[in-house]
Structure 1
Amino acid sequence: MVQDATATESPLEAAQIEEYLRNNPTFFLEREHLLTELYLPHASGEAVSLLERQVSLLRERNIDARKRLKEFLEQGERNDELFGNTRRVVTALLEARNLTDLVERLYASCQNEFGVEFQKFTLLSRDGHHRQTQVRCVNLSEAETAVPVLSRIQQCVAGIFREDELKLLFAGDHNGVGSALLLPVFVSGELVAVMAFGSSDVKYFNNESDTLFLDFIGDVLGRLLPRFV
C-alpha cells in the first residue's frame, strides 16, 4: 500500500508531484490499477473524487467477476446435461447384440438425446465389403477421395461440406443439410468408421463446436466394433 507522500518525500518533492498532477488531471485515467493501491483518507475536494473513482472501479470489477461466475455456472449446467445424455447413449450401445443392433441403437439414442436432424454411420474398409450387409460399408480410398478430410482426421470435424462430400457421408440422403459434424471411429489407430451428423442450420456445426462428449462416444464405438466386425 502506498503511504502518505508527506511521510517519505521532502516538501519540494511533494510540491513537484502536486504540480505535475495539477498539470495532468487525466493521469489516472490510463492507470486505474493505481487507484486500488492508494491510501485515500476520507476527506473533501479532490480526495473524495479519487475515492469515489476507486469505489467505482472496484464495483466494475465486482460486476465483471459476477458475470464470469454466472457463465461458469451456466457452462457447468450444460456440461451436466451433456454428460447425462452421453451416459445414456453409451449405456444403450453397451447392450448391443450385434453390429446391426449397435448402429440402430446409435441412431435411436443420438436422436433421443441430442435431437439430431440427419445422421449416418458408415463402415470404412480396404475392399469396401463387409459380411454385415445391413450396415453401410464404403471403400476407404474412395471415401478419402470424396471427402479429403478423412485422410487426416484425428477427432471430430465440423463445418460446411461440399455437395459431393455430403452425398457420400449421408448416402445420398443429404438434401437440406446445411452444416455437418464428422465423428471418426478408430480401432488400434486405424480409421474404421465415421458417423456423420447433419443440421439444416448452416451455423449449427462449426469449428467452435464442443465435441468432447462426442469424441468419447467415438472412443466407445472403437472399443465395441471389434466384437462384431
Structure 2
Amino acid sequence: MDITTAYESEELIDAEQVAAFLLENPNFFTQFPHLVEKLSIPHAHKGSISLVELQSEQLRKKVRVLSHKLNQLITIAKQNEAIYRIYADLNLRILKCTNMDDLKFILEEVIQENLQLASVTLKPFKGAHALPEIQQRLLIEKRFKRHRFFFGRLSEHERKLLFNDQEANSVALLLIGDLGELGILAIGSKDAGHFNPDMDTLLITQLQQFLGILLPKLLTY
C-alpha cells in the first residue's frame, strides 16, 4: 500500500497497516528525515524520547549483549586451549613411562592436580593387580554395551570396586585396548554432573588410545 495515496484518498489507516508499511519500507525515514525529529517514543524511565534516541539506546544494548557473549566465547576458548595443552603434555609423558608405578604417578599428578579432578585409578585386566575376571565381565556388560567409554554415575558397589574410598560422584570410564582387553581407566569428579553422556569425548578418547599403545609394553602376563 502507498501511504500517501491512502492519505490522499482519505482512507482510514489503522496502526497495524502503518506498522506493516514501515516494515515493508525500511528506508521510509531516509526519504522523509524531518519526520524523525518530530516523532517521540514513550520510554518507561525517560519519558518521551526521539526515535533516533530510542534506536541508539537499543543499538547500545545489542552491542553490550554481543560484547558479553564475545567475552564468554573468548573465556571458553582459553579454557579449552589450556585443557588441550594439559592432555597433549600428558599423552607425551605417559609414552615415556617404563613401568606401571610411573604411569600411575603421572596420571594422578596431571588429572588430579592440573585438571583438578577428584580421583583417578587404572585397573588392569591381567597381571598381579588385575581386577577379578567376574568383576570385569559385570562392568563391561553393564557400562560398555555400545561404546568403549562410559560417562555418568556408578552404583556404590562399582565406586568401591574402582575407586576404593576416593570421591567419585560422576565418572569417566575408559576401556583400554582395541577390544577393551587391557583394563579400565577410571576418573572421578566431586561434581555429580561433571561427567555426563553428552560431553565431548575427543581429548579423553585420545588418552584412551595412547594408553592402548603403552599398556601392552608395561603389563606382565
Return the TM-score normalized by structure 2: 0.72
Unaligned runs of at least 5 residues, structure 1: 125-129
Q: Residues 148 and 180 of structure 2 are in contact (CA less than 8 Å); yes or no, is this contact kept in structure 1? A: no
Q: Residues 119 and 166 of structure 2 are in contact (CA less than 8 Å); yes or no, is this contact kept in structure 1? A: no
| Amino acid of the structure 2 residue aligned with 1:149 | R
Shift of residue 80, structure 1, vs aligned partner: 2.0
Match of 2:138 among 135, 142, 145: 145
| Amino acid of the structure 1 residue aligned with 2:131 | C
Q: Compute the RMSD of aligned alpha carbons.
A: 3.5
Shift of residue 220, structure 1, vs aligned partner: 1.4
Match of 2:130 among 127, 131, 136: 136
Q: Residues 120 and 195 of structure 1 are in contact (CA less than 8 Å); yes or no, is this contact kept in structure 2? A: yes
Match of 1:218 among 201, 204, 208: 208
| In 2, Cα distance between equivalents of 1:36 and 1:228 | 74
Shift of residue 93, structure 1, vs aligned partner: 0.3
- Match for residue 187 of structure 2? 197
- Match for residue 168 of structure 1? 161
Shift of residue 74, structure 1, vs aligned partner: 0.2
Shift of residue 75, structure 1, vs aligned partner: 1.0
| In 1, Cα distance between equivalents of 2:209 and 2:108 | 16
Shift of residue 215, structure 1, vs aligned partner: 2.2
- What SS does structure 1 have at the residue aligned with 2:154? coil
- Match for residue 178 of structure 1? 169
Shift of residue 143, structure 1, vs aligned partner: 2.8
Count of residue pairs brought into register by the alignment = 204
Match of 1:19 among 13, 25, 28: 13
| Amino acid of the structure 2 residue aligned with 1:179 | S
| In 1, Cα distance between equivalents of 2:190 and 2:25 | 51
Distance 1:192 1:182, change over 3 A: same
- Match for residue 123 of structure 1? 124
Q: Residues 180 and 199 of structure 1 are in contact (CA less than 8 Å); yes or no, is this contact kept in structure 2? A: yes
Q: Residues 168 and 188 of structure 2 are in contact (CA less than 8 Å); yes or no, is this contact kept in structure 1? A: yes
Unaligned runs of at least 5 residues, structure 2: 42-49
% same residue: 21
- Match for residue 80 of structure 2? 79
| Amino acid of the structure 2 residue aligned with 1:198 | G
Distance 1:138 1:100, change over 3 A: farther
| In 1, Cα distance between equivalents of 2:183 and 2:94 | 15
- What SS does structure 2 have at the residue aligned with 1:196? strand
| Amino acid of the structure 1 residue aligned with 2:171 | A
Shift of residue 10, structure 1, vs aligned partner: 6.8
